[in-house]
Amino acid sequence: MIVKDEEANLARCLNSVRGAVDEIIIVDTGSVDQTKLVAENAGAKVISLAWQDNFSMARNASLELASGDWILFLDADEALEPGSVQVLRRIAEEEHEGYFIKVVNLIGESGSVETSPDIIFRMYRNKPQYRFRGAIHEQIVDVIFEQNNQASFQVAEDVVIKHYGYLNQQIIEKDKKNRNLAIIKKELENDPDNKTLRYHYGIELYRADRFEEAAAELTQTANTVDRGAIYYPKLLRYIALAYYGARNYDLALEAISRGLQFFPNYADLYYYGGLIQLEQRNFAGAYEAFQLALSTPEQPAYYAPFSGSRGFRAYYQMGHLAETFGNEEEALRYYILSMQDNPEFTMALCAIVKILNPRQDPEYTRQAMEKLCDFCTVEATRFIGTVYFSEGAYRLALDYFDRIDSSCLDSYTEVLKAICLIQQKRTLEAIRILDKMPLGHPQYPLARLNKILSFWLLRNRIKVRDLCNDFLSVGLSAETGSVVSMLKETLYKRVSAPPAALGAEGMLLIKDIIIRALDLQEAELAGALLAKLDKATQRENALALSRIFTEYQYWDTALYYAELYVGEHPDSAEGWFQTGDILCHKNQNERACLCYRRALTLDPRQPQYYVKLIKLYQAMRRELLAEAALKYPDMPFFSQLLEEASAE
Amino acid sequence: MSLQRISLAIIVRNEGRRLKECLESVKDIVDEIVIVDTGSCDDTVRIAKQYTDKVYSFPWGNDFSAARNFAIEQTTHEWILSLDADERLDAQAGDLRCLINQNRYSAYCLPLYALKEAGDYREHDRFVVLRLFQRKYQFQGAIHEYVFVSDPQEIGIAAAPVICHIEVAAAERHVRRGRNIALLKKAVAEHAADPCLQYYLGVEWLGLGRFKLAIGAFQEALRQFSPGQIIFRSPTVRHLIQCYKNDGQLDAALCLCLEESQQYPEYADLFFDAGVLFELKNEYSIAAKWFQEAVRLGTPPIAFFHTDGTEGYLANYHLGYCAEKIGLHKEAVSYYEAALNNERNYYYPLYPLVLLQLARRSTEDVMRYLSERGYFAIPEVAEKLAELFWSAGLPDIGQRCLASIGMRQGAGWELRTRCQLYGGDITGALQSMEQMRHSSFELPLEMRADEIAALLMQGRFEEARGQLWELWRRPAGKDAFRALFCLYKRLCDNTLLSLANRKAAAVLLNLEGRCLRAQTRDFQQQGGFAAVIRAIREILASEAETLTLLIDDLSEKEQDIKRNLEYTCTALRGLCR
């Protein structure tokens, strides 16, 4: 191993190889922390070497000291999985010259969520002629192959190395990318024809979000490199990803098509092909691509497949497609498949809950979800609670929050719980929780605002006034301050302040408050609050407000805002669509029809516009037929048609 | 070398109007004009005399060669250019001399463009015909006479100048064909061995739509021509393919295409024909390969009979169609664009191209595309596009298509007014209709319905009633009156009258369909259209018979939307072919 300042990681690494190796040689390239001590405590031989921007030089120095029959090399931020030790011992008895080992990269916040494996050459026979080459992404495979073209390599299937390096903060990550890029570039100047180096250079460019350069570099490499190279499939995938990143969708698809010619079972290619076609709004193409991704067989390790490409992610996308085309049943089926494939993939769970509509149908949602999942851990219970909360199903959310012992609740979730209590008008209990967060507490502003709201919703003018003044004196941001002042004023008849102009931050609060008021059927309060907004702010937010009122079925107010919006934006497809939805509910079918049609012509690539219009036509036809069947009982024709129509 | 001179020899009968054009095109190129009239009774001779004093008359004896040879006899120069009155020469002054001065051949074949429409070069077939020759040669054959040159080595084929032939009116063509067939049959009886006669007979039968008879003649001609006689054999092959196709014998046509494409691998037209045949058999990917080959081959050598565009705009147009059928949307777009780039005056690809673009781009983008290429500046195209947008449910866009062309009479005006009305400019549309009346333009019934509906929307009931009475007075307006009177009563008095008439119901359904297309930016105004639609539906729903119509209409509209959805979202493939 070569290390520098790795005291935090090294022990984990060295502990993991205990029993797997007979000696440990570490080259320290200038640590200023306790790395050396940690290494020596684990029984390693440690030598010091000045860092010269060259990984191979350092690695080769360690090889000089190695006396075993095999070399296994690791980085300090890696660790061998427990089950791998015996396998390593066993494969050391086989006839091969070297092994590729699966390296699982832990990414995401806690490291447990997402993994994307890589397959890397890490173990080979210790022979003096096998020495590393290359300043970064130091290479040994091709060296061995040059020395011994009979050499046979194998993928050590059951050996797994976990790589913790990607868990570092993004700033470090960025530093590392830039450092890598600089080193490879320097190396390439000396060795411009080194294809492997060019490949790694392209990937580093991709990682540094320099997509266009990455695509160009990788494409060039692909044109010259041997198609049998172990990294060839990955290379093709990265070309597609680089074009995708550069938003050059046509070229990305072309790269994918080319990749599929060589590797027709490569799930990642199909999956990304699907995503790209979604960007292009080519739904049929995307559907086909995800289907194909799902139908691919188990992926060979050297594809280094991303997890979920042929499972939960593809299912999720299928569900989303089905939803786009108005088929919720089908969508549910796919989301459930997605969740079953990876229970920790929470996006599918959220999508399921949304379809079940917990706000209007809490009991059914609860039963359905209980059947689907086991909310046995505190974390799972908290999580589903917050999902219900964000869908506005406060009572249901509260049920789950209540199951958790309050000593286990984080303060943010406690505020959510208090909000749920407020929405049940259990004000005293809510305030008891909120009062636990005094000035200086991180949740203080949220807690305080909700305390005000709890009284505001009860129209307790005095309490609200006092609390608001108190809160305002703490010194709030301009936007929050305006909202608090508005809250105070809504409870008084006389108008004292001019209408307020609010930005995005303030409107976020306002919309939240409106939702809470409507949830408690306090449309009047909501209206009073909105009346405090100036016209421009109302117009700007008219569509969002219209949606909120639609959600809570205040059709007239919803229509008022929708009309306000299309008056301002006569060419907004969304606006006309929203208007159509409302008119549909108000039974003004003809107007709804015209609105949907206008939305359709303004933006013909929104399947849901078509779907809604089709459903509207079906409903109108059914209605007419039902009337006719009643009116003309002697004409079986109508009731026949009605039956057919109802079966649709 | 002495300067060689050219005489134009031409025979005419009743060709007054066309003759002038013909002579204008050559008068400065030839050194002498000889015109032989075979019995005109119009002003042909008078016109002829404006160009030459060598105008002769020759009695018509059902023998073209005799007349032509008589004309040749009257000439005085070394070289003869032979034209018909319905042809003109598209030449620079030096073109003919250039050929003659080569001193290589004693006779030349020139390309002849058979234009399918007078005017520009749009859509033509290219033949080569022997029309420039030394005076020592003579015509042979009573019909489809040809210059007899015993030694083929003496004949050169020139790529220029071009003779343009303007198609005569259909009725006249028909008369001529009947006459020609009679003459040809007689000639065949006399010279059974001449494949050219069979070929011409085939052409005449084909022209008359008698495919089976044409097939027989062409087959016989084909049997006799040798592969080297490209000038005659290539049109024979292609005409035979066309006959098979029109006669429903697709497989025979395809066989011939395949065989002959091996015989003439450079002959793009054959590959195009095969593409069309495969397309008819719904084999779109195979068809595409043949069209691609036609494009790759390019224009065939001059001796080949050639239909303009088979190697360019026509092939690309068909390629676009095939690509669309396979679901390759992007490719289709680029083929259609290629077709338009090949031939700017061939507009047909514009139609599917715009439809495809509308499905994936904003209307603004499509409009920009069209105006950048200047299509709105061509009134004919702008009108077609307006019609397209109107039927795609975009009256406001249709109106914009017509904005840049001047106010026109007739259909264009009507379309513009309709687009104006349903694009939301109700007041403007009513004014336009008023203007149309003033310029004594007869408003069609449909537009009268539009007008009354518009007046009702604006609450101008008095005027609406006036228009209703005017409608009542028109003999053909009774059903429309009945229909619109019901609408009027419904909207004005809130009374529901029964329609009791399918034709009247159809008037209302049509009006409803047009109202559904309304694209207005104004929410309140949209309410006006909705009110008309609602009233119409209420009227139709009030009786069992019309209710059925209404229900059918609704499900038809539903199907339309489903088709649109499919077209927009599911016909687009890309990744996995």
Neighbouring CB atoms inside 10 A of B60's CB total 14
Cross-chain Cβ contact B537/A590 below 8 Å: yes
Place of tokens 């909700």: A450
Return the residue of A nearest to B560 by Cα: A614
Confidence of residue A111 (pLDDT cuts 50, 70, 90): very low
Cross-chain Cβ contact A285/B554 below 8 Å: no
Partner residue opposite A570 with nearest CB, options B521, B570, B572: B521
Return the residue of B nearest to A287 by Cα: B570
Confidence of residue A346 (pLDDT cuts 50, 70, 90): confident
Amino acid A563: pLDDT: 94
Confidence of residue B441 (pLDDT cuts 50, 70, 90): confident
Cβ contact B533:B518 at 8 Å: no
Residue A402 has pLDDT above 50, yes or no: yes
pLDDT tens profile A14-52:
888 888 888 999 998 888 788 888 888 888 888 888 877
Cβ contact A173:A150 at 8 Å: no
Confidence of residue B570 (pLDDT cuts 50, 70, 90): low
Name beta bridge partners: A156.
Answer: A101
Cβ contact A273:A258 at 8 Å: no
Weakest-pLDDT range from A102-106, B163-167, B274-278, B413-417? A102-106
Cross-chain Cβ contact A283/B565 below 8 Å: no
Task: Tell me which residues of chain B, numbers 327 to 386, contact chain A at a CB-CB cutoff of 8 Å.
Answer: 327, 329-330, 358-360, 362-363
Q: Does B171 touch chain A (CB under 8 A)?
A: no
Amino acid A643: pLDDT: 84
Amino acid B81: pLDDT: 93
Confidence of residue A524 (pLDDT cuts 50, 70, 90): very high
Confidence of residue A169 (pLDDT cuts 50, 70, 90): low
Neighbouring CB atoms inside 10 A of A119's CB total 20
- Looking at B95-169, which runs of residues are DSSP E strands? 107-115, 124-134, 138-140, 146-148, 155-157, 162-166
Confidence of residue B429 (pLDDT cuts 50, 70, 90): very high
Cross-chain Cβ contact B330/A250 below 8 Å: yes
Nearest Cα to Cα of residue A500 among A449, A460, A541:
A541
Query: Of B122 and B89, which is predicted with more confidence?
Result: B89
Tell me the C-alpha distance between A375 and A354, whole Å. Answer: 18
Q: Does B517 touch chain A (CB under 8 A)?
A: yes
Residue type present at position A31: S
- CA-based nearest distance A601→chain B, Å: 7
Confidence of residue B573 (pLDDT cuts 50, 70, 90): very low
Amino acid A7: pLDDT: 81
Contacts of A624 in chain B (CB under 8 A): 541, 547, 550-551, 554
Tell me the range of A382-391, B107-116, B497-506 where mean pLDDT is highest: A382-391
pLDDT tens profile A208-234:
888 999 999 999 999 888 888 888 999
Return the residue of A nearest to B542 by Cα: A628
Residue B228 has pLDDT above 90, yes or no: no
pLDDT tens profile A289-325:
999 999 999 998 888 888 899 999 999 999 999 999 8
A and B: number of Cβ contacts within 8 A = 134
Cross-chain Cβ contact A614/B565 below 8 Å: yes
Residue A113 has pLDDT above 60, yes or no: no
Biggest CA–CA distance in chain B, Å, is: 98
- Tally helices (H) and strands (E) across chain A: 32, 8
Query: Of B97 and A589, which is predicted with more confidence?
Result: A589
- Mean pLDDT across chain A: 88
User: Phi and psi for A228 in degrees, rounded to 5?
Assistant: -85, -5
Weakest-pLDDT range from A105-109, A179-183, A269-273, B409-413? A105-109
Percent of chain B with pLDDT over 90: 43
Confidence of residue A433 (pLDDT cuts 50, 70, 90): very high
Amino acid B267: pLDDT: 95
Residue A418 has pLDDT above 90, yes or no: yes
Amino acid A226: pLDDT: 84
Tokens matching residue A640: 């026949």
What average pLDDT does the segment B339-343 reach?
A: 89
Neighbouring CB atoms inside 10 A of A496's CB total 8
Residue A115 has pLDDT above 60, yes or no: no
Q: Does B569 touch chain A (CB under 8 A)?
A: yes
Cα dihedral A537, A542, A543, A546 sign: positive
Task: Tell me which residues of chain A, numbers 251 to 290, contact chain B at a CB-CB cutoff of 8 Å.
Answer: 253, 256-257, 260, 270, 273-274, 277, 280-285, 288-289
What average pLDDT does the segment B439-444 reach?
A: 82
Weakest-pLDDT range from A162-171, A636-645, B41-50? A162-171
Name beta bridge partners: B10.
Answer: B35, B83
Residue B162 sits at the vertex; the CA angle it makes with B83 and B75, to the nearest 5 degrees, is: 30
Amino acid B132: pLDDT: 93
Task: Look at chain A and count its residues.
Answer: 648
pLDDT tens profile B486-495:
999 999 988 8
Weakest-pLDDT range from A147-161, A332-346, A499-513? A147-161
Residue B407 has pLDDT above 70, yes or no: no
Pick from A257, A572, A601 the residue to mutate for testing the B interface (most B CBs within 10 Å). Answer: A601
What average pLDDT does the segment B330-348 reach?
A: 88
pLDDT tens profile A366-394:
999 988 888 878 888 999 999 999 999 99
ipTM value greater than 0.85: no
Residue B315 has pLDDT above 90, yes or no: yes
What average pLDDT does the segment B32-50 reach?
A: 89
What average pLDDT does the segment B45-55 reach?
A: 90
Residue B300 has pLDDT above 90, yes or no: yes
Contacts of B363 in chain A (CB under 8 A): 601-602
String of DSSP letters for B7-33: EEEEEESS-HHHHHHHHHHHTTT-SEE
What average pLDDT does the segment B70-81 reach?
A: 92
Name beta bridge partners: B112.
Answer: B127, B163
Cross-chain Cβ contact A617/B547 below 8 Å: no
Contacts of B561 in chain A (CB under 8 A): 610, 613-614, 617
Partner residue opposite A285 with nearest CB, options B392, B520, B575: B575
For residue A124, the surrounding DSSP H or E stretch is strand A114-125
Residue B576 has pLDDT above 50, yes or no: no
Tokens matching residue B62: 């059902």
Query: Of B158 and B406, which is predicted with more confidence?
Result: B158
Partner residue opposite B575 with nearest CB, options A257, A605, A618: A257
Amino acid A174: pLDDT: 59
Cα dihedral B167, B172, B178, B184 sign: negative
- Return the percent helix, strand and coil in chain B, to nearest 5: 60, 10, 30
Residue B575 has pLDDT above 60, yes or no: no
Cross-chain Cβ contact A597/B562 below 8 Å: no
Confidence of residue B533 (pLDDT cuts 50, 70, 90): very high
Strand A153-163 and strand B155-157: the pairing is unpaired
Contacts of B519 in chain A (CB under 8 A): 597-598, 601
Q: Does B120 touch chain A (CB under 8 A)?
A: no
- CA-based nearest distance A550→chain B, Å: 18
Cross-chain Cβ contact B573/A282 below 8 Å: yes
Confidence of residue B577 (pLDDT cuts 50, 70, 90): very low
pLDDT tens profile B141-154:
877 788 888 888 88
- Mean pLDDT across chain B: 87
For residue A183, the surrounding DSSP H or E stretch is helix A170-190
Pick from B361, B553, B575, B577 the residue to mutate for testing the A interface (most A CBs within 10 Å). Answer: B575
String of DSSP letters for B406-445: PP-STHHHHHHHHHHHHTT-HHHHHHHHHHHHHTT----H
